[in-house]
Structure 1
Amino acid sequence: MLLDGQRTIAHIDMDCFFVSVECLKDGSLKGKPVLVGGRGDRAVVAACSYEARTFGIHSAMPMKMALRLCPHAIIRGGDMEEYSNFSRHVTDIIAGNAPLYEKSSIDEFYLDISGMDKYFGSLKWASELRQKIMRETKLPISLGLASNKMVSKVATNEAKPSGQLSIPFGQEKIFLAPMPIDKIPMVGKETAAQLRRRGVETVKTLSEIPIGLLEAWLGKNGISLWNKANGIDETPVIPFHEQKSISTESTFSTDTIDMDFIHSELVRMTEKIAFELRQQNRLAGCVTVKIRYSDFETVTKQMSIAYTASDHVLLEKVKELFSKLYDRRLLIRLIGVRFSHMVSGNYQISLFEDTHEMISLYQAIDSIKSQYGWQLLMRGSSSGGRFEEQLQPYQKKETFTMKRRYPK
C-alpha cells in the first residue's frame, strides 16, 4: 500500500557507456580491456571496460599509467558525437514512456514513478522499460529502484553490470548499513580518509554518529552525510524539459557590419557562457545563434552537438552557425548565443584529445575567473583579434589577455 509522501524512484544507468558504444561498433572488443581516450603520453582515460578495471585502471587516470598497468589494453580515441546520439536515443525512449524523468548526465536518468503500483507494479514497469531500452539500443543497462534518488543510485551500482535491484520501502538503512562509506554518492577520497582516521569504516557506523558531531567534523556536509547514511534523501526528480538554457545577447549602440568587431563579440559571449556551463558542471547538447538586423528582422539557427562545455569546441560551432545565418549582408543590431539541451557532466573527461596540460589550463583559467570575474581573463581575439585565429585556441600562437581591475 502506498503511504502518504512515499515515493518510488528508478535510476537507470548505461554501463560503461562509452566503452559499450565502442563494442557495438566493433564486436571484437567485447570481453577485452578497452580504454577510451587520447593516445598521447599526456592523454587521460575517459572510460574503461570492466576488464580493464581489474588491472586497477579508472577514468581520469593518465593513459601512460593505464598502459603500464595493462600493456595489452586496446585504446579507442572516442566519438563524442556517436555517444551523444545514443544518449539522445535512450532519452527519447524514456521520454515516450516515463511520466516524470530527469536526465542527470549523458548516461544516467532518474524516473519518478510514484503511484505506479496502483496500476502496473513499479518494479514490473521499470523492468519492462529497461528491457525495451536494451532491446532497441543493444546497450547494457542497470536499474535501481528505491524510495529516493540516493538509494536508487546506490542500488544501481550494486546491480552492475547489466542488472537490477529493488530496495523495499523501509529497508533503505538496512540495505546501506554494511557498505563501506565510499559507496555513498559524493563521498570522495578526502572525506572517506578523514572519516576512516576517526574509525568510521561502514555506513552503519556513520549513521550512528550524532549529527551534531558530524557537523562539527565536516560542516554542512556532515549533515548531508548523516541523512544519506540513514537512507534519507528528499531531493526531487527535476523534469528534464525544465532544464534551463544559458544564453547572452549583445545589442550594439550603433548598427554595424564590422565583421572583426562582431566576431570578437561572439568570442566574448561564447567564452562567458561556456564558463557558466563549467561552473554549473554541465554540458550543452545544442548551440543557437541569433541575429537581429537593423530593420528588426530577427533570425536564429541552431544545431545539435556532441555534449561539451569546452570553449574551443563551442566557438567553432558558433562561428559555423553565424556564417550560415548571416546571409542578408545588412547592418546588424543584435547578436545572441544560447547553449541548451544541458546535462550534468564533467567537461574535462569528455575532451578525448586533451593532455594534462590542456586540462590544467582550463582549471587554471576557471579558477582565476571564479575568484576575479570571467571578464578578467580572456583570449586575445575577444579583445579585438581576428575570429579565425580564435578557432585554434590552444596552439602555440594562442594568447590570453589579463584585464586590469584597477588603473595603474
Structure 2
Amino acid sequence: MKVLSKGRIIFHVDMNSFYASVEQAHNPELKGKTIAIAGNPKERRGIIVTSSYEARAKGIYTTMNVAEALRKCPDLILLPPDFPKYRAASKAMFSILRGYTDLIEPVSIDEGYIDITKNTDNRHPIEIAKEIQLRILNELDLPCSIGIAPNKFLAKTASDMKKPMGITVLRKRDIPTKLWPLPVIEMHGVGESTAKKLASIKVNTIGDLAHIEEHVIRQALGKNGVRLRARANGEDNREVDPNSIYETKSVGNSTTLPNDETDNEILEKTFDTLASKVAERLDAKKLCGPTLSILIRDADWQNHTRSRTFHNPIYHKDVIYEEAVKLFYKTWDGAPIRLLGVTISNVIDRKQSVEQLSIFNFEDFAKQEPIYDLINKIQKKFGKGAIQKGIEIGKKSNYASKTSFSKDFLDDLKE
C-alpha cells in the first residue's frame, strides 16, 4: 500500500458518545439501550449532556431539556455524570495513543490530534488507524472515529463524517466535492452567530466562503473571517502541539436558571455564585487573567456577550463579581434570562503576572530576571512542563474546581 502523500499525516481521534459509552462499558446491561447523561432532572438546568446512539435514533440530543427528552422517549435511562470515571477512561485512551507517537495534542476529554508523519514504519495510515480503533475498542470497550488528513482542520472534519466507528480520509483534492457543497454552519469554527453574519454577505455554503474575496470577509468578520476562509480552502498550518496541555487559556462557569428570570436580586446572587466558582478554579490552578467576559442567554436562546480587559490580571472573587455585574447592567435589556456565565480569559500563572515596579521592589524584581531566563532556556529545550520557579503547595481543590467540562482532565496527562 502507498502512504497518503509526502506531506503531514494527522489523525483526529474522536470518541463516540463518550460519557454514555463509558457507562455502557462499565455496565454491559446498558448496552443497546437508550441512555443519557444529564444533570438534575428535577430542575430545568437538567439538560442532556450526551446520549447513546440508541437514544439519538429516537430524537434525543445534547442540550435537550430532560423533561422534553422523557416525553419523546419515555424509556430513556437517565444517569448522573461520573467525572472521575470519564477522566480515567480518557487517560487510558491517550495512553494507547502514546504507543504510536509523542506528538499528541489533547483538545478535550474525548478527542485529540496525533501526528504520525514520522511514525508510520512504512505502514499505510489507514492500517494504523484501524489498529488504534480496534485497540481502544478491545482494551477499553469504547468506540471511536478517526479522521486522517494532511492538517488538523481537515482531520477534525473527517472524523465527523462517519460515526460511530468510522475511519475517513480527507485530502485537499476532496475539498471541492466533499466540503464546498455543505452549508457553512456545518464547518468547524462557524457557530450560529457567525453563520448569520456570513448569510448577510451571501455566504451560505463552505464553497461560498472559500471563494469570497479576502477584503470582503475581512470587513465582515475581521481576522477570524480570513482564517475561516483559509480553512474552507483546506489551509491549516497549525502543528500538533504536545505542550498545549500546559496552556489553560480561560477559566469560566455558567448556569441555567430554574426559571426565565428578571429579578435583579436573583440575577446578582447568581453572579455571586459564578464569581465564587471561577475564583475557586483560578485559585486551585494559581492563575489570573486580564479579560473578564459575561454570557447572557435570553428566553429565546439568543446569546449576548460583553467583555472588559483590565490593565492588571484579576482573580479575586469580589473583583470578578463586581465587574461582572457592571458589565451585566451595561448589556441587559430587561428581557427574561435563561442562562448566565462568567469567564476570565488570557490567563497566566500568577508568578508570571507583571508587577508594577516601584522604588521599593525594582531591585528584587531585577534579581529574579536571571532565574526566569534560565527557566525559559530549559523549557525551550525540554518543553514547558520541564521546570517551574519554586514549588507552591496550595490547598486541595474540591471537585467544583475540577470538572471535565473544563480542561482540568489535562492535569492527568501531565503526570
User: Smaller-chain TM-score range?
Assistant: 0.5 to 0.7
Task: Using the TM superposition, give the Cα deviation of residue 368 of structure 1 relative to its aligned residue in structure 2, in angstroms.
Answer: 8.4
Task: Specify the code of the residue in structure 2 equivalent to 1:278.
Answer: V
Task: Specify the code of the residue in structure 1 equivalent to 2:214.
Answer: I
Residues 1:227 and 2:168 aligned together: no
Q: Are the counterparts in 2 of residues 37 and 45 from structure 1 also a CA contact under 8 Å?
A: yes
Task: Using the TM superposition, give the Cα deviation of residue 174 of structure 1 relative to its aligned residue in structure 2, in angstroms.
Answer: 3.8
SS of equivalent to 2:316? helix
Change (3 A) 1:214 1:367: closer
- Match runs of 1:135-150 below 5 Å: 135-150=138-153
Q: Are the counterparts in 2 of residues 154 and 183 from structure 1 also a CA contact under 8 Å?
A: no
- Match runs of 1:231-270 below 5 Å: 231-240=234-243, 243-244=245-246
SS of equivalent to 2:147? strand
Q: Are the counterparts in 2 of residues 41 and 64 from structure 1 also a CA contact under 8 Å?
A: no
Task: Using the TM superposition, give the Cα deviation of residue 109 of structure 1 relative to its aligned residue in structure 2, in angstroms.
Answer: 1.2
1:36 counterpart residue number: 37
Q: Are the counterparts in 2 of residues 2 and 115 from structure 1 also a CA contact under 8 Å?
A: no
Instruction: Work out the CA distance in 1 between the residues paired with 2:308 and 2:65.
Output: 26
Instruction: Work out the CA distance in 2 between the residues paired with 1:278 and 1:64.
Output: 30
Q: Are the counterparts in 2 of residues 18 and 83 from structure 1 also a CA contact under 8 Å?
A: yes
2:81 counterpart residue number: 78
Change (3 A) 1:220 1:244: same
Q: Are the counterparts in 1 of residues 100 and 116 from structure 2 also a CA contact under 8 Å?
A: no
Instruction: Work out the CA distance in 2 between the residues paired with 1:280 and 1:224.
Output: 28
Change (3 A) 1:313 1:22: farther
SS of equivalent to 2:90? helix
Task: Point out which structure has higher relative CO (alpha carbons under 8 A, 6+ apart).
Answer: 1
The more displaced of 120-129 and 11-20 is 120-129
Instruction: Work out the CA distance in 1 between the residues paired with 2:275 and 2:317.
Output: 18
- Match runs of 1:280-359 below 5 Å: 338=285
SS of equivalent to 2:11? strand
Q: State the TM-score, normalizing by the size of structure 1.
A: 0.60
SS of equivalent to 1:96? coil
Task: Specify the code of the residue in structure 2 equivalent to 1:196.
Answer: A
SS of equivalent to 1:119? coil
1:96 counterpart residue number: 99
Change (3 A) 1:81 1:368: same
Instruction: Work out the CA distance in 2 between the residues paired with 1:278 and 1:221.
Output: 22
Task: List runs of 5+ in structure 2 lacking aligned partners.
Answer: 255-273, 288-296, 298-302, 322-394, 401-415
Task: Specify the code of the residue in structure 1 equivalent to 2:233.
Answer: N
Task: Specify the code of the residue in structure 1 equivalent to 2:171.
Answer: P
Change (3 A) 1:310 1:46: farther
Task: Specify the code of the residue in structure 2 equivalent to 1:25.
Answer: H
Q: Are the counterparts in 2 of residues 173 and 231 from structure 1 also a CA contact under 8 Å?
A: no
Task: Specify the code of the residue in structure 1 equivalent to 2:62.
Answer: S
2:331 counterpart residue number: none
Change (3 A) 1:72 1:203: same
Residue-by-residue CA offset, 1:193-226 (whole Å, 9 max, x unaligned): 3323444332112211112111112222210110
1:278 counterpart residue number: 251
Instruction: Work out the CA distance in 1 between the residues paired with 2:43 and 2:4.
Output: 56
2:21 counterpart residue number: 20
Task: Using the TM superposition, give the Cα deviation of residue 126 of structure 1 relative to its aligned residue in structure 2, in angstroms.
Answer: 2.4
1:64 counterpart residue number: 67
Q: CA RMSD in A?
A: 4.0
Instruction: Work out the CA distance in 1 between the residues paired with 2:162 and 2:399.
Output: 44
Residues 1:205 and 2:208 aligned together: yes
Residue-by-residue CA offset, 1:329-387 (whole Å, 9 max, x unaligned): xxxxxxx96479xxxxxxxxxxxxxxx9xxxxxx99x988977933362699xxxxxxx
Instruction: Work out the CA distance in 2 between the residues paired with 1:280 and 1:118.
Output: 44
Alignment partner for residue 113 of structure 1, among 103, 111, 116?
A: 116
SS of equivalent to 2:105? strand
Q: Are the counterparts in 2 of residues 173 and 229 from structure 1 also a CA contact under 8 Å?
A: no
Instruction: Work out the CA distance in 1 between the residues paired with 2:191 and 2:63.
Output: 14
Instruction: Work out the CA distance in 1 between the residues paired with 2:74 and 2:113.
Output: 37
Instruction: Work out the CA distance in 2 between the residues paired with 1:152 and 1:181.
Output: 17
Percent identity reads 30
Change (3 A) 1:313 1:162: farther
Count of residues paired in the alignment? 289
Task: Using the TM superposition, give the Cα deviation of residue 232 of structure 1 relative to its aligned residue in structure 2, in angstroms.
Answer: 0.9
1:164 counterpart residue number: 167
Residue-by-residue CA offset, 1:115-135 (whole Å, 9 max, x unaligned): 445622222222212221211
Q: Are the counterparts in 2 of residues 369 and 377 from structure 1 also a CA contact under 8 Å?
A: no
SS of equivalent to 2:190? coil
Change (3 A) 1:27 1:378: farther
Q: Are the counterparts in 1 of residues 253 and 278 from structure 2 also a CA contact under 8 Å?
A: no
Instruction: Work out the CA distance in 1 between the residues paired with 2:117 and 2:62.
Output: 34
Q: State the TM-score, normalizing by the size of structure 2.
A: 0.59
